[in-house]
Amino acid sequence: QAHLVESGGGLVQPGGSQILSCAASGFTLDSSAIGWFRQAPGKDREFVATINWSGAVTYYADSVRGRFSISRDNAKNTVYLESNALKTEDTAVYYCAASDGLHAQRTSTEYHFWGQGIQVTVSS
């Protein structure tokens, strides 16, 4: 059975750093673009970052550009989201998702397979 599993979340202080991982089982990620999205309490799910199948192309939301970095290791079937200079407004449930296509996509409807999400809380 295919799964996407996020890990690495939890509590972090403002200004701190964290690395989220998105690991696939039951299928390979190397022919899929991968996206990270997040949903804060009372808000809609929003785009965070995306990476194409090879890792050569990445896009970021304005709110995280320069602070977050998305990368992938296809040999490990895993995608990463490194976040730095975290702010309280980064608090949310973070989801990774796999696209049917190769190209990086900002829109959630382009993704057909989602992880269950992981909580990230930025607080002192």
For 39-69, the pLDDT digits (tens) are 999 999 999 999 999 999 999 999 999 999 9
Is a pLDDT exceeding 90 seen at residue 114? yes
Average pLDDT, the chain: 96
For residue 83, pLDDT beyond 90: yes
What angle (nearest 5°) sits at the alpha carbon of residue 25, between those of residues 51 and 82?
35
Q: Looking at the predicted structure, is the pLDDT value of residue 97 above 90? A: yes
What backbone phi and psi angles, to 5 degrees, belong to 110?
A: -80, -5
pLDDT > 90? residue 27: no
For 3, 26, 28, 37, 105, the CA distances from 47, given in Å and listed in that order, are 21, 25, 23, 5, 9
43 secondary structure, DSSP code: S
